[in-house]
Amino acid sequence: MNADELEDRTKKFALRIIKLVESLPRTFVALHIGKQLLKAGTSVAANYRAARRARSKNEFNSKLSIVVEEADESVFGMEMLIDAGIVKKELLVDLIPEGTEILKIMSRSRKTAKQNHPA
């Protein structure tokens, strides 16, 4: 997968998160988790895009680290929605694995970047 495809994939992930959050019930807990999930899920795409346009290797590594953190937080948020009984697991059967895969890809990329260009 090339960088353009990965940028498109993270954007699609963010759009799916937006749709998920819009569909949540209007309860205090759902809105609280949803707000955090929305921030994290859209940050994955925004920070990957910023990483691709980084002006230095340090900036690239920093932005990629943010992507890893936000992807992990996105998966956590979706798990919380399920565990709290707000969303049925079946509804996130594709989205959680997508978030997990993005997390793994970005973690490997960050590790490779740090090995090739240590700070």
pLDDT digits (tens, 9 = 90+) for 26-65: 999 999 999 999 999 999 999 999 999 999 999 999 999 9
Domains of the chain: 3-116 (1.20.1440.60)
pTM recorded for the entire structure: 0.93
pLDDT digits (tens, 9 = 90+) for 96-108: 999 999 999 999 9
In degrees and rounded to multiples of 5, residue 73 shows phi and psi of -65, -35
Where b means 16+ CB within 10 Å and e means fewer, 12-31 reads ebbebbeebbeebeeeeebe
